[in-house]
Structure 1
Amino acid sequence: MVYRLHYTQILPVDVNTAWDFFSQPANLCRITPDWLCFDIRFAPDEKMYPGMIIEYVIRAVAGIPMRWLTEITQVQKPYFFVDEQRLGPYRFWHHQHLLKEAQGGVEVTDLVHYSLYLGPLASPLHVLLVRPRLEEIFTFRRKALTEIFG
């Protein structure tokens, strides 16, 4: 089963300012909750480009470290990029980051499609743990972006 998350917010900045922020992997730490213990192990000191590999470790469940390897597969500066998990906790992870000029700033959209290992057996795990944790992460992200950009 493939699940979907969709979050949108307006930030009071122009699209290029938003792009400059979102296209730098180091800024992921600023919009990720501390309890996830997000630790970038490898990321080039460059803005997003197709083929970029980012390696990090998270501690999403009981403090157990999980390695996550992401590839940036598509980039259309300053409006769009996609990250896809190559190695990590999900069977499938496809995350679209969309930036669109809007009245009062830029509309920022996260559209995530993901699936879990274990197929239909993972459904209770998804309902009880995975979906609530992802919602918590994106709620934190929304608040952090509001604090960063006003």
Structure 2
Amino acid sequence: MPDIKLDRIRITVEANDTDYEDTCNKLYQYNVQATNGLLQQPGKDINLYLRDESDKVIGGLFCETWLYGLYLDVFWIADEYRHQGYGKVMIVEAERLGKELGCTFAHTCTFSYQSPEFYKNMGYEVFGVNDEYPDGIKQYFLKKKLK
């Protein structure tokens, strides 16, 4: 992609080793300031691992907390351990830990080929759908109040 020149400034794909991280950090600092620090509340990650009897990781649920919300970011369980109730137990535990930290709601997104029905069965409600993907694939945005 050629550079796009705007007066003495340019748009480019060129970057050094720290450009990405520096840009993300500057956005984060702006967001902290714009929310009067609420973005950092409670500000603790919740990472749960599902391990088999040999201590091998067979699943994980990685969550972040900000603005008193629990964001379920990455959730995976190995095929042979699915549909046995482990996912439900992991979600319930993440929600419990989130509530302990002061989170008042949880939210996530998932695709139609992943697990929207699982989240709905766990009490999450769809508040948005992106249906612009090819082959009928949809992305669901879900939320749940934590009581």
Q: TM-score range by the shorter chain?
A: under 0.3
Q: Going by fraction, where is strand more abundant, 1 or 2?
A: 1
Q: Tell me which structure has the larger Cα radius of gyration.
A: 2
Superposition TM-score, scaled by structure 1 size: 0.27
With CA pairs under 8 Å and 6+ residues apart, which has the higher RCO, 1 or 2? 1
Superposition TM-score, scaled by structure 2 size: 0.28
